Amino acid sequence: SQEKVVELLLAHEQSDVLDRNDCNISALTYACEANDENITALLLSHQSAGPLEEGAQMEVCESVSEDLLSPEDAAIVEETTLELRLSDPSASSLKCRLLGLSWRGEAFSGTDAARDSTGVYLWAASVITARWICEMKEELRGKSFCEIGAGCGLPSLAAMAFTDAQVVLATDSFKHSLENLRINMQLNEGPATSGRMQIEKLDWTDESSWPSAESFDILVGSDILYDHEQVDSICRVANHLLRRAGGKFLYAAPPHRDGSTLLISSMETLGFKHEVREAPERFYENPLPSEQQLEMYLSDLAGRDCLLHTFSR
């Protein structure tokens, strides 16, 4: 039986029910999604399902929907809150909540951002961008900052907590990402940062959802391009939102995403100057309390292949 197979697997000393596969989903999440109470109970009884190491908390939710038509209809079946240290050991850490959803379909679908569920996870490019933002503290003083396709919002959280940016706006269009952004903001607000960050829905393909023209000095995106059909929307959003005098679009991503070359040429056609460099080696340092958590939640950081693009007016 399936239960017997699970029991045999759990008997192995290296079994970990919280370990995630390449799709960032754990055995515990799969059991919840299958709505199998017996196997879920077996997994929860295993020692690896106990409290995670210091810096992370997990809750497994009971509500699971089947035969979903959209990831927006999915239930949250797993919650993890990580603590990340982006700079030197003496600096404060940031809390970042990630989600597991009861959605078994594609993580994204063409240019439909409302169906893009990738933002409920944490990706290496987001850590790289957040560290980039921390090192731009002086440049961001008094500036207006906006992140598009923010997902968990780590770069925006870094701008709120570690810079003196006058305005910090984190945007997304996926329902669960927007709700999670609000929680992540609340997890990191303090007396000095309360009220400094805002959350808004922004759909690249829907101009009615865009803030006013020339509203921002700095626009940020972390690995948000994975289909060449998205390029036009991203460029139009950047051209609309950035100030004509000195506006900058900061974009961090691996080098071979579909549409990367087109993004560069399209932004240059709009009059932006383009500069690119490799992310410094220090940006790849483990931000989590342990190597185990790094392997579990940010394994793509080991790729060390992120490029930092600056598009400036």
pLDDT tens for each residue of the chain, 313 residues long:
566 666 666 677 677 767 765 445 577 666 654 555 566 667 666 777 664 444 444 555 444 444 566 777 888 888 999 999 998 666 789 999 999 887 765 666 566 666 678 889 999 999 999 999 999 999 999 999 999 999 999 999 999 999 999 999 999 999 999 999 999 999 999 888 888 999 999 999 999 999 999 999 999 999 999 899 999 999 999 999 999 999 999 999 999 899 999 999 999 999 999 999 999 999 999 999 999 999 989 999 999 999 999 999 9
**Closest Cα partner for 224 from 284, 270, 178, 173?**
173
- What amino acid occupies position 60? V
Collapsing DSSP to helix, strand or coil, 70 comes out as coil
Alpha helices in 189-271 (DSSP H): 231-241, 260-269
SS3 (DSSP) at 228: helix
The residues, any chain, with a CB within 8 Å of residue 21's CB and separated by 6 or more, are none
